[in-house]
Amino acid sequence: MTTGKVWLVGAGPGDIGLFTRKGMEVLQNAQVVVYDSLVGQGVLSMIPDHAVTIDVGKRAGNHTMPQEEINRVLLREAQKGLRVVRLKGGDPFLFGRGGEELVLLKEHGIPYEVVPGVTSPLAVPAYNGIPVTHRDFCSSLHIITGHKKAGRAYDIDFEALVRTKGTLVFLMGVTALGDICNCLLNAGMNPDMPAAILQQGTTAGQKRIVATVSTLKEEVDRQGIETPAIIVVGKVCSLAEDFAWYEELPLAGYKVLVTRPRDLISSMAKKLRVQGAEVLELPAIRTEAIEDNEMLQAAMKRLLEYQWLVFTSPTGVKVFFNKMREYGVDIRTLGNIKIAAIGEGTRKALLERGLLVDLMPEVYDGENLAKDLAVKCEKGTRILIPRAEVGNQELVAILEETGAVVEDVPTYRTRFEKQDIIDEAKEFERGKIDCAVFTSASTVRGFVEATQGLDYSKVRAACIGKQTRAEAEKYGMKTWMAQKATMDSLVQLVIDMKNEGERQ
């Protein structure tokens, strides 16, 4: 039997943009993924569908699976000859018990690699405007576990820490915040030393409380804090208000669900992340080309007979030209045929194949595409529309009223997608997702299929057009519609929704 292999992969502090390229490459090739509760949802959403997932649910003070059992799980799966990824929040070797997990693998001759991750003691202060070192304030950084067993004293030399005059970062210490501050004060630290607690850094849940060592516990009790959070002590904390940058981004603190098909989702997600949003990529649908498509194959043999070729989506473009190659049809066969596209995304997909569009409506929907094209048609005009199996029939009806001969050829099917790692319905019920972005009526239906039982009045829906909006309203969602059916307009809509919510 082929020997398997284990990769210990650091997932970073939460923001998927801080997940390393090597980590992503390893994850995409995994057959088994063993993951922690501290792994950011953005990274979890990137686990490939073909991988078996095992949730070991480790958090400070709350372990779903004992460490010894996790070690055995890694060994067992690797002994099956599988590629196993142990996905851990932060860095696997910084209080991640990665060293312990390697011992059993080493004893049994299982090969392994370690992929470091961006660690929260550096990233989270940076996202809060706190440089952990600054030559005007300190010359050292110390990272300490704040976790201790109940009823026991810390086995930490606090006096030595105070004498370093460096920045101190305590991980897993929220429940022991009072003890940590008292120990530092008792060890001689100045009561006015700046200190901060940083909640869920690099994500939409980011929150910062800055005070002093003597007042931080009181401020946390007054303002409240959620885990995971880190404690930073040192003069550099006084720079937070001046250097803070994350909250200046238009979508800072806003968590957005994107539901487009996986092959189209990245551009939308990127645009939202640039504006500061935490983006959860959970496709509600997937598209698949119709195999053995005799209807399309017959149409391609008659390409020279058509005056217009009409595309209603980027997916339609991709499938059509893939099928041309599959059927051995030369692109030059298109001859003098004119091309219409429903909108900017479809036009771009055609341009990538070296084709300019002859017609694109100002309003990007099927009705306006049909009306604009109808003006250019006369009786007997032959039109080929290769598109989704279930499409808007208004497009065909308007064109046929002109006497045009329309061939509406299904080229791909839309299937609903569902994943089991992240409970979308629960996230909306808890108010943890601020809005969902829908780019078609089918993404709305796919989302509903994946979240049955959800009270949809809790969903704020950013919709690309009126058909999408009408579908969302059918389920009782609170809806907003983009001014234009483009990705940029949709991003601006999400920004407007956030601003509107802040004003209320």
- CA atoms of 28 and 21, how far apart (whole Å): 11
- Which phi-psi region, left, alpha or beta, contains residue 449 (left: φ > 0; alpha: ψ -120 to 50)? alpha
- At residue 393, the pLDDT reads 80
Q: Is the Cβ–Cβ distance between 242 and 129 less than 8 Å? A: yes
Q: Which residues of 167-178 are buried (b: 16+ CB within 10 A; e: fewer)?
A: bbbbbbbbebbe
Q: Is the Cβ–Cβ distance between 15 and 278 less than 8 Å? A: yes
Among 95, 120, 97, residue whose Cα is nearest residue 40: 120
The residues that are catalytic are 36, 58
**216-241 pLDDT, tens per residue?**
999 999 999 999 999 999 999 999 99
The tokens for 490 are 């949709």
Q: Is the Cβ–Cβ distance between 308 and 336 less than 8 Å? A: no
**104-128 pLDDT, tens per residue?**
999 999 999 999 999 999 999 999 9
Q: Is the Cβ–Cβ distance between 252 and 129 less than 8 Å? A: no
Residue 155 pLDDT > 70, yes or no? Answer: yes
The tokens for 90 are 């932060």
The tokens for 164 are 């370093």
The tokens 């953005």 sit on which residue? 42
Q: What is the pTM of this model?
A: 0.86
- The partner residues of 210 in beta bridges, in order of sequence, read 196
Amino acid letter at 270?
K
**408-467 pLDDT, tens per residue?**
999 999 888 888 889 999 999 999 999 999 998 999 999 999 999 999 999 999 999 888
Q: pLDDT band at residue 152, thresholds of 50, 70 and 90?
A: confident
Q: pLDDT band at residue 504, thresholds of 50, 70 and 90?
A: low
- CA atoms of 267 and 123, how far apart (whole Å): 25
Q: Is the Cβ–Cβ distance between 357 and 373 less than 8 Å? A: no
- Which phi-psi region, left, alpha or beta, contains residue 13 (left: φ > 0; alpha: ψ -120 to 50)? alpha
Question: Which domains, and CATH codes, for the chain?
Answer: 5-117 (3.40.1010.10), 122-246 (3.30.950.10), 255-284+419-503 (3.40.50.10090), 288-416 (3.40.50.10090)
Give the alpha-carbon dihedral of 88, 91, 97, 99, to 10 degrees: 120
- The partner residues of 406 in beta bridges, in order of sequence, read 383
- CA atoms of 148 and 154, how far apart (whole Å): 7
The tokens for 152 are 């026991």
- CA atoms of 367 and 465, how far apart (whole Å): 12
**276-314 pLDDT, tens per residue?**
999 999 888 888 999 989 999 999 999 999 999 999 999
